[in-house]
Amino acid sequence: MTDDKVIEFFPNTQKEDEKRIIELKELIKRHDKAYYIEAQPTITDREYDELFKELQKLEIKYPQLITEDSPTQRVGGDSLKEFERIAHVKAMLSLSNTYSEVEVRDFDRRVSEALPGEDVKYVAELKYDGVALSLKYKHGKLDSAVTRGDGFAGDNITENVKTIKSIPLSIGDLKIEGKEIKNFEVRGEVYLTEQDFLRINELREEAGEKIYANPRNLTAGTLKLLDPKQVAQRPLKFVCYYFDSSEINPVSHHENIKIIKQLGFPIGESIELCNNLDDVFSFIDLWEKQRNTLPFQIDGIVLKVDSIKQQEILGTVARSPRWAIAYKYEAENAQTLLNGITLQVGRTGIITPVAELEPVFLAGSTISRATLHNADYISERDIRIGDTVVIEKGGEVIPKVTKVVLEKRLPNAIEFKFPELCPCDLKSPISRLEGEVSYLCTHPECPWQIRRRIEHFASRNGMNIEGLGEKVVEQFVELGYLKNVADIYSLHQHREEIKELDRWGEKSTDNLLEAIEKSKDTSFHRVLFSLGIRFIGEGSAKILAKQFKVLDKLKSATIEELNSVYEIGDKMAESVFQFFRNDKELEIVERLRDAGVNFQLKEEELVAKDMTLSGKTFVLTGELSSMSRGEAKSKIESLGGKVTGTVSKNTSYVVVGDSPGSKYDKALKLGVQILNEEQFLETINK
Ligand SMILES: [Zn+2]
């Protein structure tokens, strides 16, 4: 029986699918909101993926049912050649900046003078350091997303913006004063958290790609990518601070914020209605102290006159509104002398230049070193040894050299030439891979790389071997005890010698050996991460462990198999594949395994993560003798399967107990596989 005929026999199948598509879209939207806007996910990532995949499948079957606001349409459309220019209905003005209390008082005075006798309230908000964006909704659906551009017209980046999950593609029914809100404009800021920024930069650096100076640059660069699929891979976020609609007459800015929130847009972390300047200053002071605790960067606060009517009276002057102002915090930076540039060799051989600075106090700590990333970073900024440089540090971001103070350059400042030899004792020649910005030492016995690899292996996020830190690794490598990570598990052979070393004794030696012994039993994904396979971070190590479960399966995986794993990209797949085809690496892995290091998912992880029924849909009918229907349902779901109420040709199995209903007949007609109780038990106990 062919599929077409099935549909002829059961014309309601498509209806059911249509209903399910609508249901799935609603579900996914609700979960997106819970996750991205309320930050309170109600289902696991896996469950979310399942819903998403189910919707994708149905939409492939019925392409005519794909709507523009379907969550599947966020994954990115076709690449563009260039962006279209779109004019703003109301200009996107930039705020004038102030840096002192005096200037804020001046602003307040000007406002009061223009509004004689009126009571003025302000709204204070955090000024997210991102990229401004205007979103227009028509008939409740996202119609266009345009950058600020020159303030009067910007780039149409709608396709890219659709990939930002905190931006609703369509909005639900919202009535204000009896009127439905369907056509409106909102504005806000697209940004990246510091953590995401660091993670992306780290990956780029490892891959030899250009790194970005700060989260804002990375956000701007991402929004201008011509391929929406690439944009979809970056976790951009949105915060909304402006609402305008001809459908209602807004009264105040803080009422608008409420509407924005009701419409389903994320609003700022902290928004305060201030009755007077004292309130304003305490808001400014509070966030100046606490801004480093935020997961994203702010560069100040924004102060707006609350009343829309007052805003209109105040109007604009020279491309800035007169009713709003930005109070900018001092960028946390300092100037100091660049005494020299040293080189650091990473565990994959990448050589990173490091700025050796005249120690300077910045944002709570003394800084004497900062990364210079790569040779291009230095030459593009024309950083010379002996220069006075500006270093910056924001929140958790590692201090970095941002620029040279050219006015202070001395005639004897020396241009930095990247050396041709690795700083390691082997003085091995270094090379630059084509298309990459980093230089590498490719010598397989480079002692610097060996040290870094061992340090990485023993680190807290790796095998977590307490007592095997940087200094100890250096010492043991020098003494010849450690030539690779597998040697760690032979260290007990040197017990007597170690005991006699400086700063070592019987107790500390035994503590170390015990910690090493204990590490053997760690989880598979930690072991994978610890091996230091290029491009494999903690997250991807977890995915690989979950997917392949045991070492041998991972070892023998083809590039295609690796690549087909969700979230494992081309570079990762290639890197894992090559790692397990390298004799030296294989030998180390085998020695680790012989030593007793755990190379498989543990029992408890297996039980919890067994997803053998993933993607399978069950329908239960009739009574089972060994368990209730509820028990059967939860058993199936615990194995990743799904239970639905109606039989369709997408049903994988119909489980038939005693006195089955009409579902049994339908299964027979559709040719769906039928399981009796015994067969069902076999399936779930496999
Ligand atoms: Zn080297």
Task: Specify the fold of 610-685.
Answer: Rossmann fold (3.40.50)
Residue-wise pLDDT for 68-77, tens only, equals 778 877 755 5
pLDDT number for residue 524: 94
Inter-residue contact 374 to 352 (CB < 8 Å): yes
Three-class secondary structure of residue 384 per DSSP = strand
Q: Over 70: is that where the pLDDT of 127 sits?
A: yes
pLDDT number for residue 285: 92
Does domain 12-75 match CATH 3.90.79.10? Answer: no
Q: Over 80: is that where the pLDDT of 8 sits?
A: no
Query: Distance from the CA of 350 to the center of ligand 1, in angstroms?
Result: 9
Query: Distance from the CA of 202 to the center of ligand 1, in angstroms?
Result: 21
Query: Distance from the CA of 329 to the center of ligand 1, in angstroms?
Result: 43
pLDDT number for residue 206: 65
Confidence of residue 9 (pLDDT cuts 50, 70, 90): very low
- Provide mean pLDDT across the span 160-188: 87
Q: Over 80: is that where the pLDDT of 575 sits?
A: yes
Does domain 97-328 match CATH 3.30.470.30? Answer: yes
| Two tokens, residue 287 | 């966030």
Q: Report domain 447-519's class.
A: mainly alpha
CATH superfamily of 333-419: Nucleic acid-binding proteins (2.40.50.140)
Give the pTM: 0.56
Domains 447-519 and 524-608 share a fold: yes
Match 């609609």 to its residue by tokens: 245
Residue-wise pLDDT for 638-669, tens only, equals 777 888 888 888 888 999 888 787 888 888 88
Query: Distance from the CA of 339 to the center of ligand 1, in angstroms?
Result: 24
Q: Over 60: is that where the pLDDT of 416 sits?
A: yes
Inter-residue contact 52 to 97 (CB < 8 Å): no
Q: What per-residue string of b and e applies to 527-562 under the rule 16 or more CB within 10 Å gives b?
A: bbbbbbbbbbeeebbbbbbbbbbebeebbebeeebb
Query: Distance from the CA of 420 to the center of ligand 1, in angstroms?
Result: 11
Alpha-carbon dihedral angle through residues 74, 79, 84, 87, given to the nearest 10 degrees:
20
Q: Over 60: is that where the pLDDT of 5 sits?
A: no
Could you give phi then psi for residue 92, rounded to 5 degrees? -90, 95
Pick the more confident residue, 207 or 562. 562
Q: Cα separation of 255 and 259, whole Å?
A: 6
- Provide mean pLDDT across the span 391-407: 76
Query: Distance from the CA of 444 to the center of ligand 1, in angstroms?
Result: 8
Pick the more confident residue, 174 or 406. 406
For helices 470-478 and 447-458, angle between their N-to-C axes, nearest 10 degrees = 140
Residue-wise pLDDT for 322-368, tens only, equals 999 999 887 677 899 999 999 988 887 888 899 999 988 776 667 88
Q: What percent of the chain has pLDDT over 70?
A: 92
Q: Over 50: is that where the pLDDT of 601 sits?
A: yes
Confidence of residue 510 (pLDDT cuts 50, 70, 90): very high
642 classed as catalytic: no
What does pLDDT average to over the chain?
85
Residue-wise pLDDT for 178-231, tens only, equals 788 889 999 999 999 888 888 887 777 666 666 777 788 889 888 888 777 778
pLDDT number for residue 265: 93
Listed residue (680, 654, 682) closest to 668, CA to CA? 654
Listed residue (307, 439, 435, 280) closest to 375, CA to CA? 439
Instruction: Please pick, among 29, 127, 237, 642, the residue that the annotation labels catalytic.
Output: 127
Q: State in Å, rounded, how far the first CA of the chain is from the last one.
A: 30
Does domain 524-608 match CATH 1.10.150.20? Answer: yes
Could you give phi then psi for residue 577, rounded to 5 degrees? -60, -50
Q: Over 70: is that where the pLDDT of 566 sits?
A: no
Listed residue (294, 363, 293, 297) closest to 334, CA to CA? 363
Three-class secondary structure of residue 241 per DSSP = strand
pLDDT number for residue 79: 56
Q: What percent of the chain has pLDDT over 90?
A: 36
Confidence of residue 597 (pLDDT cuts 50, 70, 90): very high
Domain ranges of the chain: 12-75, 97-328, 333-419, 447-519, 524-608, 610-685
Three-class secondary structure of residue 227 per DSSP = coil
Q: Over 70: is that where the pLDDT of 610 sits?
A: no
